[in-house]
Structure 1
Amino acid sequence: MRWLPALYVGVILAVEPVTPVQWPVSFLLIALPVVAAYAHGPVAVAAITVFAVVFEGVLAGTPCCAGRSLGYLWDRYYVFTYVSTALVGVLGAILAAHRIRRERTLASVRSVAETAQQVLLSPVPRRLGQVCVETLYLSAAAEARIGGDLYEAVPCNYGIRLLIGDVRGKGLVAVETAATMLGAFREAAHDEPDLVAVAHRVERSMTRRAAQLPGSEVAERFVTAVFAEIPDHEPVVRIVNCGHPPPLLIGRDGVTELDSSDPSPPLNLGVLVGDDYHVDVRRFRPGDQLLLYTDGVTETRDRDGVFYPLTDRIRSWGPLSPRELLDHLHKDLLDYSGGRLDDDTAALAAYRDPG
């Protein structure tokens, strides 16, 4: 964009010698200040406006340009062009100043959004007993759009309890809902004896939260989530899946999707469908790795609109540590989508140390 004014002038220079005398292509320089306003500041636009006026005079008074004589330099039509270019230059400087002000405002909003997301998703300890935990969060490409993707890992008397979730919708309401859910989970993880009780307690908090929302928001606000529990002295993982994409188990037997045998409804919808939460128990041996993720991963598309094949990709990478796995996933998502993610993405990897 910064070279757009130079390109514009180059086009005019290329067209000017081949046009008839009756077609004064130099009049096109009137638009040059506005073109410059797309990429430059007010001072640069003012300088480019002065250049445009001088260049118009050069083109009007140069005999070799379309056979003109010096008499055209002060022809009334050209004088009108000089004045018009100067006025457009003033407009361009105003537009450039407004653009810069909007860019600074947008940068500030982005900073606030990132800070809010960082406060919401507090850092997870990288080692919890026998389990190594790593996390990944990628913001969507849409400017200043705060998402409701969330994750947490809590060590408690029952082992390590993990959570990953995705709040329906975006913006501050989604962030408030995510904060409510995380607060409820952090308390319930310590107090409740099993994952079903944890899910019910979080459900009650979400229902109270939904009741405070206006109008149709009560029925529409729900959260898909996966609760997981890794006991300290059992080679298993317990999972409650509430309408969320299934976790992946990466181990000596390959990569396996841990589909729920009895899927549970998303949080805040259980009271509507009258269903309960079901626990699946899967083997989770030393050296195995559990990957929890939001649908921002699997719904990433390439240029042809094909969804990201997460399971196949991970199978092709071979054994990786949790940090290497998430870093590789981050890079691969950006490459697959052409550098543009249309949804927020969160992932959490938990690795049971063989030692």
Structure 2
Amino acid sequence: MRSGAAFLAVGTGLVLHARRAFLRELRQARAAVASARSMPLRPLPPRVAGLDLAAAQLPADRGAAVGGDLYEVIATEHGVRAVIGDVRGHGLAALGTVAAVLGTFRAAAHDEADLEGVLRRLDRALARHVRDREPDPEGPEHFVTVLLLQIAGDGTLHTLNCGHPWPYRLNGTEAEPVSRTEPLPPLGPFPLPPDLPTENPGSLLPGETLVLYTDGVEDARNTEGRFFPLPSVLTEATRAGPLSPQAVLRTVFTQLLDHTTQRPADDVAVLVIHNVGDVVRGATAEKRGAGLHR
């Protein structure tokens, strides 16, 4: 009789444990769906303030609409501002962090006079998000690589980079990184330094193109373990003649999938920005409130 009661108690405990686990997973799934509907990646307009745009992502998880990569481009009174980033992990676990970072960028890009202010807002938003979602100090480490880019009305570039790959500039003959400076650490594990080194890697001239990407692109391997040769792919593309951002994007993803022969092991995102030659006119129009992308 006692053994039957003990068996019943153990069985009841297992059922309750399974039920709690199921409810916890259900809450997480509902939160992820709510975030997906309200915040993360949305289609970019084809043109912002004289810049042609194209962007796409390929989540590592099959069936997922979004992954742990993020990007956005917004025209502001300070110039066109863009962000691209890579959240640690991928799939549903990264979705809330993507939402927190993108939501903050969309507000801070308009509010802050310089990129330093934008980056510090992103850093604080990430810290709040981690504190709210992961109150356990022994929980997994959260971090996000982030590249902030500002394109002034005359094409002048300003950047802040926290652990992210530098973009490539396509000038019609070759593809070169806009900078080779060592980035700051990713957001999350360490506090930002008092002075943030904003870089000025020249200008985006009429006819030139910037290719921003996440490290899942260059880290993608083929069956022999060789990494995807992004620089040579971009160089070949730019030497083939004038290319639209859509054509560059199509070339990268086509050759990437051909290289890996399957879906890459990590999330992949690519953002292409092309100066069609009227950035100054476009930026002036933005100040008058025309064509503002919010």
| TM-score between the two structures when normalised by the length of structure 1 | 0.63
CA distance in 2, matches of 1:201, 1:223: 14
Q: Which residue of 2 aligns with 1:226?
A: 147
- Tell me the CA shift for residue 285 of structure 1: 0.9
Deviations 1:184-235 (A, max 9, x none): 1001100111111111111111111122213257661010011000111x23
Letter in 1 for 2:141: E
If asked which structure has higher relative contact order (CA below 8 Å, sep 6+), I would say 2
SS at match of 1:162: strand
Query: Residues 141 and 189 of structure 2 are in contact (CA less than 8 Å); yes or no, is this contact kept in structure 1?
Result: no
Match of 2:256 among 333, 343, 347: 333
Query: Residues 145 and 170 of structure 1 are in contact (CA less than 8 Å); yes or no, is this contact kept in structure 2?
Result: no
Gap regions ≥5 residues in structure 1? 1-108
Classify 1:354/1:143 alpha carbon distance in 2 versus 1 (closer, same or farther; 3 Å): closer
Classify 1:337/1:196 alpha carbon distance in 2 versus 1 (closer, same or farther; 3 Å): same
1:153 and 2:69 are equivalent in the alignment: no
Q: Which residue of 1 aligns with 2:189?
A: 269
Letter in 2 for 1:215: D
Classify 1:217/1:241 alpha carbon distance in 2 versus 1 (closer, same or farther; 3 Å): farther
Identity %: 36
Name which one, 1 or 2, has greater alpha-carbon Rg.
Answer: 1
Match of 1:132 among 52, 55, 69: 52
Letter in 1 for 2:244: S
Q: How does 1:1-355 map to 2 (within 5 A)?
A: 116=36, 120-140=40-60, 142=62, 144=64, 147-212=67-132, 213-216=134-137, 220-232=141-153, 234-252=154-172, 254-261=174-181, 263-271=183-191, 274=193, 276-283=195-202, 284-317=204-237, 318=239, 319=241, 320-355=243-278
Between Structure 1 and Structure 2, how many residues are aligned?
A: 242
Letter in 1 for 2:144: V
Q: Which residue of 2 aligns with 1:95?
A: none
Query: Residues 148 and 178 of structure 1 are in contact (CA less than 8 Å); yes or no, is this contact kept in structure 2?
Result: yes
- Tell me the CA shift for residue 340 of structure 1: 2.8
Classify 1:338/1:197 alpha carbon distance in 2 versus 1 (closer, same or farther; 3 Å): same
SS at match of 2:205: coil
Return structure 1 stretches of 4+ with deviation > 6 angstroms: none
Deviations 1:88-108 (A, max 9, x none): xxxxxxxxxxxxxxxxxxxxx
Query: Residues 164 and 183 of structure 2 are in contact (CA less than 8 Å); yes or no, is this contact kept in structure 1?
Result: no
CA distance in 1, matches of 2:226, 2:59: 21
Letter in 2 for 1:332: Q
- Between structures 1 and 2, the one with greater helix share: 1
| TM-score between the two structures when normalised by the length of structure 2 | 0.75
- Tell me the CA shift for residue 250 of structure 1: 0.8
Deviations 1:296-341 (A, max 9, x none): 1111101101111101111112242100000111111110001332
Gap regions ≥5 residues in structure 2? 1-28, 279-294
SS at match of 1:249: strand
CA distance in 1, matches of 2:169, 2:64: 34
